[in-house]
Structure 1
């Protein structure tokens, strides 16, 4: 296995720049996830690392060696795509062995690698089957097995679970996490699904419009987003982001109603426009007659937890998460409290104000 270093990597198609100077270090054995909305450049970045796209500027190093101008076949990487891309006329065994045969490996070594990968991925009983006789999850495991047998320096995954149904996505996601724990390989994974990113990654790279917005562990991004984009993108349901204005040091008035909350305002002057952020699970119910009145518009009861969606004067929809089975109904009004230690504040430019 190996580490990866990207230095000021740029990619342009004619006058359109897709990647704007990406700098990134991935440690040996690390599981890094690229996440962001459609069109943010995450797949282009992965394909550039793989050598499937020629970069416009910057440098790419794998295990300390410059591979910027090496073709994909000489970089020692293995890529798993969104589509399984299996040979339909070949058995599972033959699909996994094919690349090794082309690389000139001896039959005994091929058999050893294929059977080891099949055991890891629980495919031993399916080695003689054709892809059409497998489920979607099994086909994706074969595609992963085909990468494992090559013993690559780095595994690259381009939205490998997006073709699976919800139940299979969860199951295969667990298998990927277990696989990384077992083989300890360096893995780079692209997804638009921030839940996948949160559950799989050692570190997450959040991309927007070809630029890195923030890099950190899942909990670092969740607990300390650097800006409004990361705050709104990481977390499900998304963070409540409420416009307001600083009224005095440590005080912010929310929306048209001017409900005042205590919040670390840094050196912002009175009157400065801000956005207060708080996650649905961090909101609390205030005593009657206190707090921000929220008029409930929708209640989702999921058994062990309930989600209340509602409105308050001059504010966007607010989501409140409660443990258990809430008895509140549509049309009810509940008072909300904003615990200061759980609040995030962002300035007019969308940057976090740190306490």
Structure 2
């Protein structure tokens, strides 16, 4: 049995592993999952078992396997294999590290680092190297995944990675998993840094032209906005892209309706709470936007309580939509001017 991939990589860097990938060699995953007494969920179609840990992290128990790609961008076909074959199916060398749990004298468990491709050296050198000469062509989504890793762990791209970028871009449209990686990019600590990596690698074509600028502005805020705000910011950048519209990107990335709704509210002229997600996004997309007058404001300006407040607010909303007011001061002036025409 071995702990494989990102958990080993992160532990060697002194980081808390996010998810645990456990590879079982020469055993039955379903039997082991049952014998463990833990609430594993077995998936017959994939011959793996998953467990949600108390802290929310996930553990994935799977048999050692090899994978073959029938064609570029297609899902791989798995076959039983050894631990060495299993790590060789990984994407990057620093994800091909395994901590093998063996038996030492006296019955003490002795972990041993398995590093068949020099992943530890690449990790120490902070270099991201594809495992094979066709790694990114087999699965172009690895290009996005690599940029996410490079941004999060401050890795440089190896010459081998940069050499594979053109061939990966050629098959990107045939790789449905690429969109899932783009969605995950929006959950990274600093999404614009992922985009910067892609741009520097010559892969900017995978992104809407305006997205890096919008996401960089969100990254620069004192507190990281929610993923929904980043998704809405991403959608805001595709309006000028002739090859796709907001609905197409929303569907491609499976963002759901909330980001688009958030974007609409951020771009309109109505009042939103200053501490809301809409206000955060509005401040980035429309830095000249102002807070419209509220019901309390119009009362203080002399509008009588009752139906007149609603009418005053509706009038101001119409003026904003028509572009006739562009500041609180202009709204106040218009309202006072209108009040002066009303019968006393």
Same fold (TM over 0.5): no
Answer 1 or 2: higher relative contact order, Cα 8 Å, separation at least 6: 1
By percentage of residues, which structure has more strand?
1
TM-score, normalising length: structure 1: 0.28
- Structure possessing the higher radius of gyration over alpha carbons: 2
By percentage of residues, which structure has more helix?
2
TM-score, normalising length: structure 2: 0.29
